[in-house]
Structure 1
Amino acid sequence: MRMEKSIPLEAVRSSKKRRLLTGQVHFIGIGGIGMSALARYFLALNRAEGLALSAARQRRPFDKLRARPKMASNWLVSGSDTMASPLTQKLAKEGVNVKIGHLKGHVTPDLDLVVYSQAITPDNPELREAKRLHIPCRSYPEAVGRLTEKYRTIAVAGSHGKSTTAALIGLILKKASFDPTIIIGTELKELDGKNFRLGRGKYLVLEADEFGRAFHHYSPAFAIVTNVDREHLDVYQSLAGVQKGFLEFIGKIKTGGVAVLNKDNEPLVALESKIAAIARHNNIKVIWYSLYGSVAKKIKRALKIPGIHNVSNALAAYRLAAAMKIPGPKILSVFRSYRGSSRRFEYRGTCQVSGIKCQVYDDYAHHPTEIKATLQAFREKYPDSKIVCVFQPHQAKRLEALFKEFQTAFDGADTTLVLPIYKVAGRDKVKGQMSNVKCSSEALVRAIQKLRPARRVFYLKNPKHLKSALTMLLSSPPPPRPPRQLSSRPRKSASRQRQSALVVMMGAGDIVNYTDSLIK
């Protein structure tokens, strides 16, 4: 009886189902791309219990959060979010108990762990209830940080290109029989349309986001920094602040580890002497990579996804894989077969607009640097097509901080249609009110029209009228394309050009929902 008293009530309930559980974990904000991957990690542990995974069991960092019977083996996973989405629907089908809305009643005393998104504020009713009940609470970065300590972690950081680079590394390791666990910020066809894979090996491939200084919680053995840019300025305030944040991340690499860094990125190269000092102190091997070399040419020939920025991403993956002694031909074979990821140059379907057949793409680009690179990639792949960029600004503070850069970001499109700003939960509010941001989508359009009078740039107040707006825009002929954007190949006739166009649905918010209605 004394032993029973030492075990929490929830561990000795008579329910047969409960006796088979290692614990119960609840995710607040489970609809986020990172949170959903971590939820899938716990679900996958359940499926893995029937396999001989003794090494994997040793790496499970959450088993001792509360005392439990030794016979326990599985996790019961639940989660909540403000609204349903295709991702929450997938999770529900996979076995997660998904609840819509944030309510105090979603948190019960028998929970063993609560994980919450960085978008969740301290006054969230579920988080407050969990703390009142003294349930262990971890932010997403804290929870993932526990995992990085248990695996040999490969963390991919950078202002841009993290998802593609991490995806390529994960697939390379899988091809090379390293059998990695993968947690990334996009869904992959090669992972059955998921953003997660549980492997039996000792490696974890992780997308390391700098927002909220999340990557400072991680302890990688290998790290990549694809680039450093003026991003997440609501956290870092300036480029110098961003650089300092990445330096601290590099300092988190374990002794004897490897750092793979982009030699073509000036803000990162500016830190070279400080990085060298960290490397000497922590015995880290530093590998710089650059597009100016023979390997980059091989990668460009092998890679199926367009854009020089993707060649750079693939080069980072190549250099890290080579450091792990993976043969070059095996690496290149992964590049040849890679089919891209969700919302990164993703072909979604077609629609007929004013007699014109339009190919519709989704892309996650939401920073001026990303927008320029993505539109350039579209122009490379479709030099003779009309490109219509439908852009939804993501976060009011980002638009305000980078307003000047946004004005020249859309030069690669023939026509640009700007939607209202997507307001980010927890980031665009100050003391319960929307932050007083001077910049708006309308202001951006006016600024571009003033700077580029010949550009076809418009504001659409109601996205529900998107198809009507596209009909009007595609019915009228665009002005001649500037000489620097002309293809060196023979141009198609004007009549043939009018029969096809590209619609690029661009942004990190809910613009993907409007894509669905467009291609129906």
Structure 2
Amino acid sequence: PHVADIVPELTRTMITYGFSKNADIRATRVRQDAQRMHFNVRLPHRDDPLAITLNLPGRHNVLNALAAIAVGWELGVKGADMQQALSQFQGIGRRFNVHGEIDVAGVRALFVDDYGHHPTELAATIEAARNGWPKRRLVAVFQPHRFSRTRDLLDDFAAVLSGVDALILAEVYPAGEQPINGADGRSLARAIRSRGQVDPVFVNHPRECREVLPGLVHEDDLVLLLGAGDIGAVASEIYESGFEGGR
């Protein structure tokens, strides 16, 4: 809505994209099948829609694809070439990176690693997980990034993280910052707990989640490891060596 407000002030050539009927390039019939998104794209001066399959889950990735299509269309790229390119695109590191099914002390769970560390990113990733695997419980392991961000967005973090079924919350990754009173991991855990939807388990380092997860995970759960700190290395360690008492 904020971008739409400034549209009347723009004097350059403008192409809009999105889900709105008013968009020049519009996604329709959007559906999600686990990790893939399927949708049609309505393009200017083209009667038949362009059918797109995207190997990345979530409506936010549909919007990203529409942005690429808008640029390609403006540059004269053929629709078939854009279809092929998007169908072959496998994403980038730590953006809904599906590590596969892993044995957690006798039960199997799907592990996904994502760089998201802002409430808006977390919400989009959680929504993608819910829509793609609606029958699975969602277990999140989150490491906040920067004390200042945690302080400024504490309530937003608490709201979005209350939307999972189980949560392990690690201490804040400082990224060079000094601790801020009331903006550490325990403070965020208290804020989440006070909402009464999920009772987070606090750990000092995300690596400790390997000790906690066997007591939280149920068969066929989806485990999301989230954050921009060293939690990414933990995801790789879990995939490479699994859990004690597992396979």
Structures share a fold, TM > 0.5?
Answer: yes
**Structure 1 residue 348 displacement after superposition:** 2.2
Aligned-residue offset at 1:421: 0.6
User: How far off its partner does 1:516 sit?
Assistant: 2.3
- Name the structure 2 match of 1:506: 226
Q: Deviations over 1:19-46 (max 9, x none)?
A: xxxxxxxxxxxxxxxxxxxxxxxxxxxx
What residue is the counterpart of 1:306 in the other structure?
Answer: 57
- Give the Cα separation in 1 of the matches to 2:97 and 2:61: 14
Question: Structure 2 vs 1, CA of residues 436 and 447 (structure 1 numbering), >3 Å: closer, same or farther?
Answer: closer
**1:448 is the counterpart of 2:172:** no
Does residue 269 of the first structure (1) align with residue 22 of the second (2)? no
Kindly report which structure 2 residues correspond to 1:56-135, keeping only aligned pairs within 5 A, or say none.
none
What is the alpha-carbon distance in structure 2 between the residues aligned to residue 303 and residue 507 of structure 1? 24
1:471 pairs with one of 198, 204, 214? 214
Aligned equivalents of 1:421, 1:464: Cα separation in 2: 13
The question of 1:415 aligning with 2:159 is answered no
SS in 2 for 1:373: helix
SS of equivalent to 1:286:
coil
Mapped contact 2:96–2:114 kept (Cα < 8 A): yes
Pairs aligned (count): 217
Matched-pair contact (CA < 8 Å) for 1:421–1:441: yes
1:404 is displaced (CA, Å) by: 1.3
Aligned counterpart in structure 2 of residue 318 of structure 1, from 49, 61, 69? 69
Residue 296 in structure 1 maps to residue 46 in structure 2: no
Q: Is it true that 1:460 corresponds to 2:212 in the alignment?
A: no
Which range is displaced more, 291-300 or 348-357?
A: 291-300
Shift of 1:508: 1.0
Task: Quote how far apart the aligned CAs of 1:302 are.
Answer: 1.9
Question: Per the alignment, in what secondary structure is the counterpart of residue 296 of structure 1?
Answer: strand
Q: Contact 2:112–2:225 at 8 Å: present in 1 too?
A: yes
TM-score by length of 2: 0.81
* Counterpart position of 2:15: 287
The one-letter code sitting in structure 2 at the alignment partner of 1:296 is: A
- Distance in 2, Cα, partners of 1:473 & 1:507: 20
C-alpha distance in 2 between matches for 1:435 and 1:500: 37
The reply on whether 1:340 has 2:71 as its aligned counterpart is no
Distance 2:20 2:90 in 1: 25
Q: Secondary structure at the match of 2:236?
A: helix
TM alignment of 1:221-300, pairs within 5 A? 266-274=1-9, 276=10, 280=11, 284-293=12-21, 295-297=26-28, 298-299=40-41
Q: Secondary structure at the match of 1:422?
A: coil
Displacement of 1:502: 1.6
Check whether the contact 1:408–1:448 (CA below 8 A) recurs between aligned residues: yes
Q: Is the CA contact (8 Å cut-off) linking 2:60 and 2:124 kept in structure 1?
A: yes
Question: Which has the greater radius of gyration?
Answer: 1
Runs of 4+ in 1 over 3 A off after TM superposition: none
Q: Among residues 137, 146, 158, which one is paired with 1:386 in the alignment? A: 137
**C-alpha displacement at 1:456, in angstroms?**
3.6
The secondary structure found in structure 2 opposite 1:292 is coil
Aligned pair partner of 2:105 in 354, 358, 378 = 354
Calculate the aligned-residue CA RMSD, in Å. 1.9
Q: How far 1:465 moved relative to its partner?
A: 2.4
Tell me how far 1:437 sits from its aligned partner.
4.3
> Does the C-alpha gap of structure 1 residues 358 and 447 become closer, same or farther in structure 2, counting only changes over 3 Å?
same
The percentage of counterpart residues that share the same residue type is 28
Map Cα deviations across residues 91-140 of structure 1 (whole Å, 9 max, x no partner): xxxxxxxxxxxxxxxxxxxxxxxxxxxxxxxxxxxxxxxxxxxxxxxxxx
SS of structure 2 residue aligned to 1:366 = coil
Aligned pair 1:439/2:175, yes or no? no
Q: Deviations over 1:380-416 (max 9, x none)?
A: 1111112111111011111111111111112442111
Q: Which structure ranks higher in relative contact order (CA pairs < 8 Å, sequence separation ≥ 6)?
A: 2
Contact 2:52 2:83 in 1 (8 A): no
Kindly provide the amino acid, as one letter, of the partner of residue 446 in structure 1: R
Unaligned stretches of 5+ residues in structure 1: 1-265, 429-433, 475-497
Question: C-alpha separation between the residues in 2 aligned to 1:303 and 1:422?
Answer: 32
Whether the 8 Å contact between 1:445 and 1:457 is mirrored in structure 2 is yes
Partner letter of residue 221 of structure 2? A
Contact preservation (8 Å) 2:192, 2:199: no
Q: Is the partner of 1:513 in helix, strand or coil? A: helix
